[in-house]
Amino acid sequence: MSSYDILFWFFSLAMLLSGVLVIASRNPVTSAICLVALFVFMAGLFVLLEAFFLAAIQILVYAGAVMVLFLFVIMLLDLKASQRRRFGWLAAVGGLVVAGALVWELGIILQTPVTVAVSGQTEVGGGLEAVVKPLFANYMLPFQVTALLLLVAMIGVVLLSKKDLQ
Amino acid sequence: MIEFIVISFIKIAAVIGVMLTIVAYTVMLERWVCAWMQDRIGPNRVGPFGFLQPLADGVKLILKEDVLPHHVHKVLYTIGPTLVLMPALINIGVIPWGSNLPVFGRYIKGVIADLDIGILFIFAFAALSVYGIVLAGWASNSKYPFLGGIRSSAQMISYEVCLGLSVVPVFMQVGALNLSKVVEYQAAHSWLVLCQPVSFFIFLVSAFAETNRTPFDLPEAEQELVGGYNTEYSSMKFGMFFMGEYAAMFVMSALMVTLFFGGWSLPFAPFNAPATSLPVGLAHIGIFLAKVVALLFFYVWVRWTIPRFRYDQLMALGWKVFIPLTIVNIVFVGAVLALVVK
């Protein structure tokens, strides 16, 4: 077992454990923290794949920004209500069906032979250029349209949260 | 492989050791400068000129009773202080503290991990440091810490944006995210504080907000919130919040030295190129540490000079002044680079 394998199993098992804790914990704040831990371990897996840029962005955006805002909102909610919530059989069955479908789908994909396009040279810079160059050269227009879409969403939120539009 | 691991372990031990010693003496510096500015004598009882005071403080914090209030969320209450200290200790790993050290015929690089994504790594882990404060505030389950935690999460998210946007022009000019390359660029050309003064000013102010230092220390504003997020903490758990604040200051100062003040370099030979002999290599480390300590002094100086901002003023400054200014700065620098340089 190489050090790579040990790290892979460590990050994977830690990820699964935190994933289980996210849904098993009754306290929403604990759930949120477990989700942050999951993102960090996932970044560890990206590092093992030498996608350093993706790993940094994973922590920076999801763990560092999105989840802080989630936590901010959760902390302002009434936690007693969600802790009293009962175990719902319908929800559990629905969740199992969705999870089963996902595993089934994964199985089909894994059985299909995949041809990987191997480029001649190895990537330098932890995938930074591999991600950024196409984004700003080939896909400039879709990138800008996405940005515009986010702006529209933001304006929508501001508009909806205003009580009176005058 | 073995050699790499051994050298890395030695580097980590040395860097953390030096960092924590400087952190302890920054607390001391704070008390000395404060006393000097207020025309008092300051701590002078323990050891010659009070020089062993940090040791006495450490012993006091460790020996105090560790109170665990019955109304707290025990797990999150306990991991809160560690989450404040940890990001600073991780981040020092990618900051170059020297050029290289020629020892026994091999060149040892003056950085623990020479990452190509350097600055993104630092922002990623600095972004995690907010959890320590927010969780401490929430897990304490009482009013003042909770208010401190809420303030802190809003403040740190806002100023993270300023911090991130303010350094973009620096990397546009250098053309690499690797911090070692930034320093080498400055050694060869000129310090970036001269080329990017707007960037530097916004980064400096945002760094104060990001480390919760006066004039932006609203999460722990004593007069209104007792101690803010650390009100319920005692003993070494409180000590770790304290160390975390100063360690974050150290990392921010080191980052500012790296980005704007030429890191280990001075603008004349033999200090403007990577070292080829051991004395110059050691001198580079000395130069870097001297610059960091000078900035730490600046932090302390500001704390005892400027009064605290109001919370709405802090938010307005971040969102309405700094963020538009950074975007204008990015566009301006981009235009200059495109039209003049190329």
Angle between the N-to-C axes of helices B235-260 and B53-63, in degrees from 0 to 180, rounded to the nearest 10: 140
What integer pLDDT is reported at residue B324 of this predicted model? 92
Q: What is the pLDDT of residue A120?
A: 47
What is the reported pLDDT for A131? 77
Per residue in B139-176, pLDDT (tens digit) is 888 888 888 888 888 888 888 888 889 999 988 888 88
Q: Which two tokens stand for residue B184?
A: 């080498």
Closest alpha carbon within chain B to A53: B117
| Residue B127 Cα, gap to closest chain A Cα (Å) | 5
Q: Is the pLDDT of residue A80 over 80?
A: no
Nearest CB to A72: which of B117, B124, B153?
A: B153
Residue type, B281: G
Predicted pLDDT of residue A78: 65
Q: Is the dihedral of CA B114, B115, B120, B121 positive or negative?
A: negative
**Residue B114 CB neighbours (<10 A):** 14
pLDDT score of A126: 57
> Is the ipTM beyond the 0.85 threshold?
no
Strand B106-109 versus strand B100-103 pairing type: antiparallel
B177 interaction partners in chain A (CB closer than 8 Å) = 128
Question: Which of residues B214 and A120 earns the better pLDDT score?
Answer: B214
Residue A117 confidence (pLDDT) above 60 = no
CB contacts < 8 A, A to B, total: 77
pLDDT at B145: 85
In DSSP notation, B133-146 reads HHHHHHHTTSHHHH
Nearest neighbour of A128 by CB, restricted to B76, B116, B149? B116
Residue A145 reports pLDDT greater than 90: yes
Q: Do A125 and B154 touch (CB under 8 A)?
A: no
**A chain contacts of residue B168, beta-carbon cutoff 8 Å:** none
What DSSP line would sit under B40-68, residue for residue? -----SSSGGGTTHHHHHHHHHHHS----
Distance (Å, rounded) from C-alpha B176 to C-alpha A3?
30
Q: Number of helices (H) and strands (E), helices first, in chain B? A: 14, 2
Work out the pLDDT band at A13, boundaries 50, 70, 90: very high
Contacts of A125 in chain B (CB under 8 A): 116-117
Q: Has residue A90 got a pLDDT over 70?
A: yes
DSSP symbol at B308: P
Rounded Cα–Cα distance for residues A59 and A44 (Å) = 10
C-alpha closest to that of B97 among B198, B211, B205, B19: B19
Chain-chain contact of B115 with A126 (C-beta, under 8 angstroms): yes
Interface residues on A facing B, Cβ-Cβ cutoff 8 A: 27, 29-30, 33, 36, 40, 43, 52-53, 56-57, 59-60, 63-65, 68-69, 71-72, 75-76, 124-126, 128
User: How large is the average pLDDT for residues A84-110?
Assistant: 86
Task: Give residues 112 to 131 of B whose Cβ lies within 8 Å of A.
Answer: 115-117, 120-121, 123-125, 127-128, 130-131
How far, in Å, CA of B137 to CA of B229, rounded?
Answer: 5
Residues of chain B with pLDDT under 50: none
| Amino acid symbol at A125 | G
8 Å CB contact of A68 and B125: no
Q: Looking at residue A116, what is its pLDDT?
A: 61
Q: DSSP label at B94?
A: G
